[in-house]
Structure 1
Amino acid sequence: MALAVVLREEIPVPEGVEVTIDKEVTVTGPKGELKRKFKSRNVSIRQEDGLVVLETRFPKKKDKAMLGTIKSHISNMIHGLTEGFTYKMKIVHAHFPMTVKAAKDKVTIENFLGERYPRTANIIGTAQVKVQGDEVVITGVNKEDVGQTMANLEQATKIKGKDPRVFQDGIYLVAKE
C-alpha cells in the first residue's frame, strides 16, 4: 500500500484582500487589482477559509521549486496591494551635475558625464517615479514592475570603458521598503 506524499504550502489572506482563482489568480486589495497566470501541471492552487493553499503530490525537485516560486509570487501580489513597494535611489555625480526628469513612461537623464545627448530609461507597467532633489523614489503595487524600472535606471547610467573606481557617477539603489 503506497502512501500519497503531498507537499502543502499555505498563504494567509489578510482582511480587505480578496483572492479569486480560476485560470488565473486575481488578487484585489485596497490599492487595486493584480492578475497572473501560473502554468504548472503538478501544482494545484485553491482556497480554503482565509487561506490560499498550494499542493503538489509526489513532488520532484522541480515541483518543490515551482511551489515555492508560486507562493512567493502570490505573497508579493498580496503585499503589493496592501502596503505597496517603494525603492529609493540616489543620484551621484562628481563633476557634471545631472538633470533627471520623470515623464509619463520614460525617465530622462541629461548631462550625464557631460554628454550632449540625454539617456533614457523606461518606466515599466504601473510603477511611478518621482524625482526629489538628488533622490529618485519608485513606487508601485507590482514588485516586478518596480524592480525592473529601478534596474532600467541603474543600467541607463552604467559607465562602460572607464575605471568604475574613479568614475562613480550614476543612479544607485539605496533602500527597499
Structure 2
Amino acid sequence: MSRIGKHPVPVPAGVDVNVSGQTVSAKGKLGSLSLTVIDDILATLEDGKVVVAPRNDSKRARNMWATTRTLISNMITGVSTGYTVNLEINGVGYRAAVQGKELVMQLGYSHDVKYPIPEGIAIKCDKPTAISVSGFDKQKVGQVAAEIRGWKPPEPYKGKGIKYETETVLRKEGKKK
C-alpha cells in the first residue's frame, strides 16, 4: 500500500477544486491548473479533501497512485501560494537584469545571453548576482530555472557560473607546482 497515496490532499481556503471524470482542476488567487488523471486512478472530492485511490491492483495503478496524489498536491499548493527557485551568479563580471520581457545575462561570453520570460513565470533580479524565478506551476518554474542554469553551470575550480541557492559546488584543488 502506498504511504503517500493514502493521505488525502487538503484543499485550503481560497482554492476551488473541481473533479469531473478524470480531470482535476484547481483555481486559486495565482491562477488555474488542471490535470488529467490516468484511467487506473480514481480521484474524488470528499469533505474539502481530494482523495486518490487505485481502481485496480495492477502494477501501473500502484505506481501512479502516489505520483498522481503528489501532482494534485503540487497543483493546489501552486495556485494558493506559488513556487520560487532562487539562483546565484558567481564570477567576475557575471550579472543579470530583467529588461522588459527578457532576462539579459552577461556570463563571460562575447555577447549578452537573452532569455525570453515565458507566460506564467515571473523573474526578478533584486541584485545583479541573484535571480528569483517564481510562478504557480512547479514543473514550469523548475524547468525555467534549469534552462537559466544551463547557460553557465558552476565549474569546480573557481565555482564560477550560475547555481541554485541551495546547491553546493564540489571544488577541486587545481594544479600543483
TM-score w.r.t. length of structure 2: 0.79
Unpaired runs of at least 5, structure 1: 1-6
Identical pairs, percent? 24
Q: Does 1:135 align with 2:130?
A: yes
Q: Distance in 2 between matches of 1:124 and 1:67?
A: 31
Moved beyond 3 Å, runs of 4+: 103-106, 120-125
Check the 8 A contact 2:135/2:141 in 1, yes or no.
yes
Write the letter of the residue equivalent to 2:28: G
Q: Does 1:24 align with 2:23?
A: yes
Residue 174 (structure 1) aligned to one of 162, 165, 168: 165
Write the letter of the residue equivalent to 1:28: K
Check the 8 A contact 1:19/1:27 in 2, yes or no.
yes
Q: Does 1:77 align with 2:75?
A: yes
Partner-residue secondary structure (3-state), 1:107: strand
Count residues with an aligned counterpart. 161
Write the letter of the residue equivalent to 1:69: T
- Displacement of 1:61 in angstroms is 3.1
TM-score w.r.t. length of structure 1: 0.79
Cα 1:62–1:51 change in 2 (3 A) is same
**1:92-131: CA deviation from partner (whole Å, max 9, x where unpaired):** 10x3x12312245542212x22x21222345344111001
Check the 8 A contact 1:56/1:63 in 2, yes or no.
yes
Check the 8 A contact 2:83/2:136 in 1, yes or no.
yes
Check the 8 A contact 2:40/2:60 in 1, yes or no.
no
Cα 1:174–1:42 change in 2 (3 A) is same
Q: Does 1:37 align with 2:31?
A: no
Partner-residue secondary structure (3-state), 1:76: helix
Cα 1:33–1:104 change in 2 (3 A) is farther
Q: What's the counterpart of residue 4 of structure 1?
A: none
- Displacement of 1:35 in angstroms is 1.9
Check the 8 A contact 2:98/2:125 in 1, yes or no.
yes
Check the 8 A contact 1:8/1:56 in 2, yes or no.
no
Residue 101 (structure 1) aligned to one of 97, 101, 105: 97
- Displacement of 1:138 in angstroms is 1.1
Q: Which has the higher strand share?
A: 1
**1:23-45: CA deviation from partner (whole Å, max 9, x where unpaired):** 5221012222112223x111011
Q: CA RMSD in A?
A: 2.3
- Displacement of 1:174 in angstroms is 0.6
Unpaired runs of at least 5, structure 2: 168-177
Cα 1:175–1:86 change in 2 (3 A) is farther
